[in-house]
């Protein structure tokens, strides 16, 4: 296929490599003209995944990308930019979203912002650094269009990248958004040195929290036990590659959110998503104590006192 990947960050570049290895003609559309020029001239991204060989990708700027002629448009942009980018896409090619978050302005799932064309979402435990190295990984492709999901599954699957399909679009998107917020809390456990028992307990209760929210929006429980839910949650909360986990760790050690982002040098989606997810849960009448706690810390509450309040909640059944 002729594919345009919009977004020259780590995940956009890594997924472009997945597509290239499957034999597709891939254009990588970057926001920064200098970044696009460097990729064209050197086969390397000067900002992200610097060691990845990007030769064979047609790097361009977003306005110059051949979107109208593409057979597939892949969006790998931050959640805060998703609505604007999606609305400006010419042509009618299907969209595959790689973005894990919610629309900050409205709280809507990102796939609902794509109008007038088929849409699918890819999610799962997929750290760009490992995929760029050719390490094996699995993902789930969700869409209400079963034919599109199957077509994309065939287009991206390889011996190193195994894709499954799932019709639970709402569940997969809510997993992708909420797991980043839980990862901030898991990082705080690391930053405070509270140990593996505490971290495992937090991740497990975080998964229950994610599933409660999904149930309120008609998601299937098994989605939260799959790659988009438990799989992505585990790797995001435990891996050294996890930006959200790292941000939570830095904040627990005294950094502000802005300082944590500066130290990491990339987008930390959980920081954007946490208040959006909290407000969504209030509208749905769903209790999300970990998410509420993360938001309170971002608003200035001491992390240690938050741990005490969470541990002191009224005992209940699991």
List the catalytic residues: 179
Cα distances (Å, whole numbers) of residue 205 to 107, 165, 318: 23, 26, 9
Comparing CA positions, the residue from 118, 237, 136 lying closest to residue 188 is 237
DSSP per position, 165-189: EES-HHHHHHHHHHHHHHHHHHHHH
Q: In what order do the strands lie in the sheet with 95-97?
A: 58-61, 25-30, 2-6, 72-75, 95-97, 119-123, 137-142, 161-166
In angstroms, the CA 260 to CA 248 distance is: 8
DSSP 43: S
């Amino acid at each position: 296929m002729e594919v345009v990947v919009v977004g020259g960050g780590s995940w956009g570049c890594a997924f472009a490599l997945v597509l290239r290895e499957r034999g597709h003609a891939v254009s990588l559309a970057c926001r920064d003209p200098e970044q696009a020029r460097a990729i064209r001239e050197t086969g390397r991204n000067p900002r992200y995944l610097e060691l990845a060989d990007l030769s064979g990708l047609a790097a361009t700027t977003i306005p110059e990308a051949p979107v109208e002629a593409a057979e597939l448009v892949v969006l790998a942009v931050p959640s805060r930019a998703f609505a604007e980018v999606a609305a400006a896409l010419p042509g009618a090619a299907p969209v595959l979203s790689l973005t894990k978050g919610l629309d900050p302005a409205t709280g809507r799932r990102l796939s609902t912002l794509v109008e007038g064309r088929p849409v699918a979402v890819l999610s799962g435990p997929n750290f760009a650094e490992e995929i760029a190295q050719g390490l094996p990984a699995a993902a789930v492709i969700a869409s209400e269009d079963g034919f599109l999901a199957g077509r994309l599954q065939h287009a991206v699957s390889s011996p190193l990248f195994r894709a499954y399909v799932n019709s639970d679009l709402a569940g997969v998107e809510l997993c992708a958004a909420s797991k980043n917020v839980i990862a901030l809390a898991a990082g705080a456990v690391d930053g405070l040195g509270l140990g593996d028992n505490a971290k495992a307990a937090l991740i497990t209760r975080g998964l229950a929290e994610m599933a409660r929210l999904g149930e309120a929006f008609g998601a299937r429980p098994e989605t939260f036990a799959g790659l988009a839910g438990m799989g992505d949650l585990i790797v995001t909360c435990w891996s050294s590659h996890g930006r959200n986990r790292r941000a939570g760790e830095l904040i627990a050690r005294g950094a502000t959110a802005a300082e944590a982002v500066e130290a990491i040098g990339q987008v930390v989606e959980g920081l954007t998503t946490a208040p959006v997810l909290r407000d969504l849960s209030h509208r749905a009448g769903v209790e999300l104590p970990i998410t509420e706690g993360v938001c309170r810390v971002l608003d200035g509450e001491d992390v240690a006192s938050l741990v005490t309040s969470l541990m002191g909640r009224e005992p209940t059944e699991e």
